[in-house]
A = this chain, B = another copy of it.
Amino acid sequence: MAKAFSEFRPLDETSLIDYIKSVPSLCSRLHNNLNGLEIKEVGDGNLNFVFIVVGSSGSFVIKQALTYVRSIGEAWPMSKDRAYFEAAALKKHGHLCPGHVPEVYHFDHTMSLIAMRYLKAPHIILRKGLVAGIEYPLLADDMSDYMSKTLFYTSLIYNSTTEHKQGVAEFCGNVEMCRLTEQVVFSDPYKISEYNRWTSPYLDSDAAALREDEALKIEVAELKSLFCERAQALIHGDLHTSSVMVTQESTQVIDSEFAFYGPMGFDVGAFLGNLILAFFAQDGHADEENDREAYKGWILRTIENTWNLFQNKFIALWDQHKDGSGEAYLPAIYNSSEIQQLVQKKFMQDLFHDTLGFGAAKMIRRIVGVAHVEDFEAISDASKRAGCERRALQLAKLLLKERRKFQNIAQVVSAIKQGK
């Protein structure tokens, strides 16, 4: 049976059962009871098959990487090695933050396949909850937990250079995913590209203006260089609101196939930028029953709390481990609480500005680039949708160009409110 899967082949509901039978650890996860397995393919992403496997005595999810971008077809080939890096990042981040990362049960390099914990109902994709107007009281606390732990513990503040460069070298192999991000986030929105689309004709002139905005394009070049060159921590690499599954009691981060050693602000910015998109989409979801004003307030509080909690937790980890084996800030040099606070303040200020820049770039690409977000797509009235998108776009351009003028997240929230 094992021989049948000695070469890569895409699985379907039928061959998946044969596959499971050939892997003892998966069988035992089902207590060897494979009768009446329910298998459902639910991949709504672009890059993978995702099978939910539920038996009478156990369950898991099987995610298999495909060799092309599913929504575009075989014209856009993708390395299936990304499954290796997704599994590696899930394991590493899961070790650092087990409460918010699903456990990996099994990884098969040949088949580009990961078996992991099935996040049962009522878990839904956070973005769908945001479109539906559902508040998640733990979200800011949980996501700040996830980001502070995964980023701090994979940085040089915590690790030796030797450990760090080992990780950097390994994840250099995930270069195809990095190149995809470079293209869709930092390049395509600022040039004519066959993949770009926007709410036309309403945003035609807005999209054209981006391509002519010299100040913006100069800042985008700097962010792109940071993304390509700065190995600051093992980042998730695609931390938008569809990479998070939630219930009222649980927050789980999935889909880390873009993981590599990059700038921390790319993760924090992705999450906050997508919350800002959710905010600007709310007017398009408002109706006579619900004007969404209260919900917009919750989103803004969540943005503010996420950053402030992240900052506090990151610094708390730093203080906790300041005499550890991290090599960036030796205690013999940063040897008083005064200078410790000064370097921490500078670090967080720089990270804050990176976060705003990357977050804004992620917003822009969701409005004029290849991949759009359900937040806006769910607004059926194109004119109304374009209005929401334009306000988000204006705010994103401001954040990207003027990010260094913002001192704290409260000022960003004020700017979002003014852009309403």
A218 to B349, CA, bound (A): 13
Interface assignment of A97: CB less than 8 Å from any CB of chain B:
no
Interface assignment of A92: CB less than 8 Å from any CB of chain B:
no
Q: Are A346 and B179 in contact (CB-based, < 8 A)?
A: no
A283 to B182, CA, bound (A): 52
**What sequence of 0s and 1s flags, for each residue 173-208 of chain A, a beta carbon within 8 Å of any chain B beta carbon?**
101101100100001001110000000000000000
Q: Are B182 and A214 in contact (CB-based, < 8 A)?
A: no
Taking the nearest CB of chain B, how far is it from the CB of A156, in angstroms? 6
Given contacts A179-B162, A232-B229, contact A191 B332 (CB under 8 A): yes
A375 to B414, CA, bound (A): 57
List the B residue with the shortest CB-CB distance to A233: B229
A292 to B8, CA, bound (A): 73
Q: Which of A49-57, A247-255, A334-342, A381-389 contacts the other chain?
A: A334-342
Given contacts A229-B230, A231-B229, contact A221 B187 (CB under 8 A): no
Taking the nearest CB of chain B, how far is it from the CB of A392, in angstroms? 22
Q: Among the interface residues A165, A190, A225, A342, which one has the most CB atoms of the partner chain B within 10 A? A: A165
Q: Are A329 and B169 in contact (CB-based, < 8 A)?
A: no
Taking the nearest CB of chain B, how far is it from the CB of A370, in angstroms? 15
A229 to B165, CA, bound (A): 9
A338-360: which residues lie under 8 A (CB-CB) from chain B? 338-339, 342-343, 346
Q: Are A338 and B214 in contact (CB-based, < 8 A)?
A: yes
Interface assignment of A164: CB less than 8 Å from any CB of chain B:
yes
Q: Are A343 and B179 in contact (CB-based, < 8 A)?
A: no
List the B residue with the shortest CB-CB distance to A192: B332
Interface assignment of A222: CB less than 8 Å from any CB of chain B:
yes
A333 CB contacts on chain B under 8 angstroms: 187, 190-191, 211, 217, 220
**What sequence of 0s and 1s flags, for each residue 227-266 of chain A, a beta carbon within 8 Å of any chain B beta carbon?**
0111110000000000000000000000000000000000
Q: Are A214 and B339 in contact (CB-based, < 8 A)?
A: yes
Interface assignment of A327: CB less than 8 Å from any CB of chain B:
yes
> Which of B160, B187, B328, B342 makes the CB contact (< 8 A) with A224?
B328
Q: Are A343 and B221 in contact (CB-based, < 8 A)?
A: yes
Given contacts A168-B172, A172-B169, A214-B342, contact A221 B162 (CB under 8 A): no
List the B residue with the shortest CB-CB distance to A187: B330
Given contacts A172-B169, A217-B339, contact A222 B346 (CB under 8 A): yes
A182 to B330, CA, bound (A): 11
A330 to B165, CA, bound (A): 29
Interface assignment of A161: CB less than 8 Å from any CB of chain B:
yes
Interface assignment of A35: CB less than 8 Å from any CB of chain B:
no
Interface assignment of A166: CB less than 8 Å from any CB of chain B:
yes
A178 to B335, CA, bound (A): 24
Q: Are A228 and B342 in contact (CB-based, < 8 A)?
A: no
A114 to B161, CA, bound (A): 27
Given contacts A214-B338, A214-B342, A229-B156, contact A166 B172 (CB under 8 A): yes
A333 to B173, CA, bound (A): 27
Q: Are B217 and A334 in contact (CB-based, < 8 A)?
A: yes
Cβ contacts A to B, 16 pairs, < 8 Å: A160-B179, A161-B228, A164-B228, A166-B172, A168-B168, A169-B170, A190-B333, A191-B330, A191-B332, A191-B333, A192-B332, A218-B342, A221-B334, A221-B343, A225-B328, A229-B230
Q: What would 18 more interface pairs be, CB under 8 Å, given A156-B229, A161-B182, A221-B343?
A: A160-B179, A162-B176, A165-B173, A165-B178, A166-B175, A168-B168, A168-B172, A169-B173, A172-B172, A182-B327, A191-B332, A191-B333, A214-B338, A214-B342, A217-B334, A217-B339, A218-B342, A224-B328
Query: 10 shortest A-B CB distances, which residue pairs?
Result: A169-B172, A191-B332, A165-B172, A169-B169, A165-B175, A190-B333, A191-B333, A214-B339, A161-B179, A229-B231
